[in-house]
Structure 1
Amino acid sequence: MIHILHSSSLELRRLLPITLLCVSAFAQGETWVITDQAHPVTNAAGIRVIHLDEQQRLEEQLTKKLPSNPMQAAASIQTYLSSPDGRQFQRELAQAQQAATDAWSLGIKKIPAVVVDRQYVVYGEADVKTATGIIARARSMQR
């Protein structure tokens, strides 16, 4: 233990940026972006992005493959949904439905919306980095 406390300053300087990065990430909190395909966002890597139209997109993708005959379509759907791809589709559909529920539970009124800690929101900003910066500045002024 004592050896670690007396590490060279070079080692400590190497750890400082990593420590600051971790502290910064934890200070920002949980970030969600709520949008749809018509309102793309940028700088959203590593952030939960909820597309409100994802369920519709998945359903359209499914129905494009169906025959026009209703009886054949019903049989085709049953076969597909029992397949591994069909089970994956059902998981994706359930996730899309849950994501939309999560977004609406926040009372989002406009998209795109960037939400931090389910408490702070910036509407209309497509650049997630800019939006989280706005939120960070507002939060720092409250302290």
Structure 2
Amino acid sequence: MSCPAVAQEVWFISDSTRPPLGSYVPARVINLDAAQRIEAELAATLPGDPSEAERIARLRLREGGTALQRRLQAAYQGVTDAWSLGVATVPAVVVDQRYVVYGESHVDKALARIDRYRREHP
């Protein structure tokens, strides 16, 4: 299925355990647990000594450079965007930041529901 002609932007909001399904590729995939996963990578195997743990964490942050900064920024921006839309349940398919289908990982099916709703409620 292709995206309905009236849809300008499709987002899939979920977590890493529930990826988008179907043939339609959303413009944006937001994994709400992305920031936690990145932070877990940074904290993995840190020693118990607080000073040494801090030194290693700073080193990891420095070595990650701008790529790590971009990953963290994108992860937190996704959470902010989902929160600002009022997304309360995942997975969620959001069209044009206006229509939302909750509980459906299959993007094609969610788009069909939104398209049907739009036709029935012009």
- TM-score, normalized by length of structure 2? 0.86
What is the CA-CA distance between 1:89 and the residue it aligns to?
1.5
Q: How many residues align?
A: 120
Quick one: higher RCO (CA 8 Å, sep 6+), 1 or 2? 2
Q: What does 1:88-107 align with in structure 2 at a 5 Å threshold?
A: 88-107=67-86
Q: Counterpart in 2 of 1:111?
A: 90
- Is 1:81–1:87's contact at 8 Å kept on the other side of the alignment? no
What's the % identity of the aligned pairs?
41
Q: Counterpart in 1 of 2:53?
A: 73
Larger-gyration structure (1/2) = 1
Paired amino acid for 2:28: R
Task: Give ranges in structure 1 of 5+ residues lacking alignment.
Answer: 1-20
CA distance in 2, matches of 1:48, 1:110: 17
SS at match of 1:121: strand
- Structure number with the higher helix fraction is 1
Displacement over 4 Å in runs of 4+: none
Q: Counterpart in 1 of 2:114?
A: 135
Task: Give ranges in structure 2 of 5+ residues lacking alignment.
Answer: none
Going from structure 1 to structure 2, the CA distance change for 1:68 and 1:31 (only over 3 Å counts) comes to: same
Going from structure 1 to structure 2, the CA distance change for 1:73 and 1:86 (only over 3 Å counts) comes to: farther
Paired amino acid for 2:82: A
